[in-house]
Chain A
Amino acid sequence: MTAAAAFAAALDRAQRTASPIARLDAGEVIGLGTAYAAQHALVARRVARGERVTGVKLGFTSRAKAAQMGVDDVIIGTLTDAMRIEDGGAFDPRAAIHPRVEPEVAYLLGVDLVDASDDELDPATAIAAVAPALEVIDSRYRDFRFSLDDVVADNASAAAYAIGPWSSPTAAGPLDNRAVRLELGGRLAQAGSTAAILGDPVRALAAARRLAREHGFALRAGTVLLAGAATAAVPLPADGLVEATIAGLGRVSFRVERGATADGSPDGGPDKQEDAS
């Protein structure tokens, strides 16, 4: 087993059992190449179990967040259908270790972004639709502490996401400075602006294309790009309503509810026994 495959197995197990693990990078530097290889191996394990890749997410798109984490570049992670929470649906907090939630902007890609020329990167063609989104992040590392390589291997802390109603990019208009609210149980938890996302969330297109080309991601038309967080992430409450609102774009919500499955249907929750790997 390669180092990347071993990292992937450890992270996969941590996620499936909702049990944190020690940092991979604690003793020696993994390197960004191996870290992305580990992430691809991790996603391959999930796909082998029947999950389908639905898109990508960017991380560290806020200068403040990047400085806080001591990193200096944006990172990319993979979204799958198992992470999807329906708008208005429910999320079982037992599926995560120490989940946090943040308000984001989501794009629906209108072109295959990796192969897109600079002209095709024009938002008018590259973006089929835009929506408010909520992302649940959850580090598989103890105490939410990690290096850049660690978090890349850990699929950029991706855990779950919900997307609100899609709008056409022309109807939505420029998104470089829209007020954003994150509310927990109807109370304001974070207030910010979409400007926190790379200065303008539309820059996520070029950033995602660059990272995808460098690190071997497919960015197909019809898949989702989570552009990054508009405010700091806050700990996910144990229960209750989580709602994000972007001025002039709309709102998206889900409930935190023990015993829920990602699509909101009743279920016994994640199976913490199953994992023989």
Chain B
Amino acid sequence: MGDATAAALHAAEERLHAAARDGLACSPVRELIGETDQDAAYAVQSLGIARRLAEGRRIVGRKIGLTSPAVQAQFGVFTPDYGVLLDDMVFADREPIDLGRFLQPRVEAEVAFVLGRDLDSPTTHVAEVLAATEFVLPAIEVVDSRIAGWDIRITDTIADNASSGAIVLGTAPRRIEGLDLAELGMRLDHEGEPVSTGSGAACLGSPVIAVAWLAREVARHGRPLRAGEIVLSGALGPMVAASAGVFHARLDGLGEVRADFTTTALEGAAA
């Protein structure tokens, strides 16, 4: 680990926690842990997850971020990053989602893998990922940043649990046999018009390549992927700002899923 002290790591976690708790975005934690020390940033992320687990939450999976070369270039990194999915982040197709639970939400369409067995080797390869995948689902990820104005560098987003917010899962599982995930067309529509388009190849060449990367990375850090975990494999196209209404993702050959954003709590507060 670099120069960030234990006190700095705890201060960073406290800042992010307070932002989420109070619904007030905070200033970047790179002020506390630096702009480049990814190990320190993952340590902050782990502190945050430990706090949530102590509050009674449960780990249900992981998410992979920064899977597009264009986004990696924007962050000055050459690898993806990852975060942890907790039980209270998971929604199903068409289930209303209160926008008030987010600070500055954005959405992107992805492939979700659900594992049928552990992937615990730091040398996991794509064939093992394919063999271990119980089924795949179309998914919408809601990303969110606790950092004001999304003013983030790589350490800010990693510390902030890879800017995770929520996930919306389709409800029709597909076996991976016969699917070429690199060749899935993706369209994310809002009010009937595509607001983001892309394909499986946009995610590191194929979503399965991203999952293999994640499996190696987390196994190396002693937190291997376990049977039953959901893995959100990374965006298939550009992220777009979330707003009230239905965002409808269609993954050609895989299925569809809708995120229904509501503002009831906000209206209630105003009334």
Question: Which B residues between 224 and 271 are near A, CB-CB below 8 angstroms?
Answer: 237-238, 250, 252
Q: Are A199 and B252 in contact (CB under 8 A)?
A: no
Least distance between A91 CB and chain B CB atoms (Å)? 24
Q: In the complex, what residues of A have CB within 8 A of residue B200's CB?
A: 179, 191
In the assembled complex, the Cα of A128 lies from the Cα of B235 at a distance in Å of: 36
25 contacts between A and B (CB under 8 A): A63-B194, A63-B195, A178-B252, A179-B182, A179-B185, A179-B200, A179-B201, A180-B185, A181-B201, A188-B201, A188-B205, A191-B199, A191-B202, A192-B199, A192-B202, A193-B186, A193-B187, A193-B252, A195-B186, A196-B197, A199-B189, A199-B192, A230-B197, A247-B185, A247-B252
Residue-wise interface mask of B (109-152) relative to A, using a CB-CB cutoff of 8 A (1 in contact, 0 not):
00000000000000000000000000000000000000000000
Most central of A195, A199, A247 by chain B CB within 10 Å: A195
Min distance, Cβ A99 to any Cβ of chain B, angstroms? 21
CB proximity of B170 to chain A, nearest CB, Å: 15
Against B, the Cβ 8 Å flags (1 = close, 0 = not) of A185-220 are 000100111111001000000000000000000000
Q: Which residues of B contact A196 (CB under 8 A)?
A: 194, 197
Cβ–Cβ contact A177 & B201, under 8 A? no
**B22 close to A (CB within 8 Å):** no
**Is the C-beta of B55 less than 8 angstroms from some C-beta in chain A?**
no
Interface residues on chain B, number (Cβ under 8 Å):
22
**B173 on interface, CB distance cutoff 8 Å:** no
Considering the complex, which residues of chain B in the window 154-209 have a beta carbon less than 8 Å from any beta carbon of chain A? 182-187, 189, 192-195, 197-202, 205
What chain B residues lie within 8 Å of A247 (beta carbons)?
A: 183, 185, 199, 252
Residues of A contacting B205 in the complex (Cβ-Cβ under 8 angstroms): 188
Contact count band on A: 10 to 19
Q: Are B199 and A199 touching (Cβ within 8 A)?
A: no
Q: Are B194 and A181 in contact (CB under 8 A)?
A: no
Select the residue from B185, B194, B238, B252 with max chain A CB neighbours within 10 A.
B185
CB contacts (< 8 Å) of B184 on chain A: these are: 179
Q: A178-B252, A179-B186 are in contact. List 14 more A-B contacts (CB 8 A).
A: A179-B201, A179-B252, A180-B199, A188-B205, A192-B197, A192-B237, A193-B187, A193-B197, A194-B185, A195-B185, A195-B197, A196-B194, A247-B183, A247-B185
B198:A199 contact, CB within 8 angstroms: no
Q: Contact partner of A195 among B182, B194, B238, CB < 8 A? A: B194
CB-nearest residue of chain A relative to B195?
A63
Q: Which residues of A contact B201 (CB under 8 A)?
A: 179, 181, 188, 191
Among B184, B238, B250, B252, max chain A CB count under 10 A is at B252
The list of the 5 closest CB pairs from A to B, nearest first, reads A195-B187, A179-B199, A191-B201, A191-B202, A193-B185
B199-222: contact bitstring with A at CB < 8 Å (1 yes, 0 no)?
111100100000000000000000
Smallest CB gap from B253: residue in A: A247
Residues of chain B within 8 A of A180, CB atoms compared: 185, 199
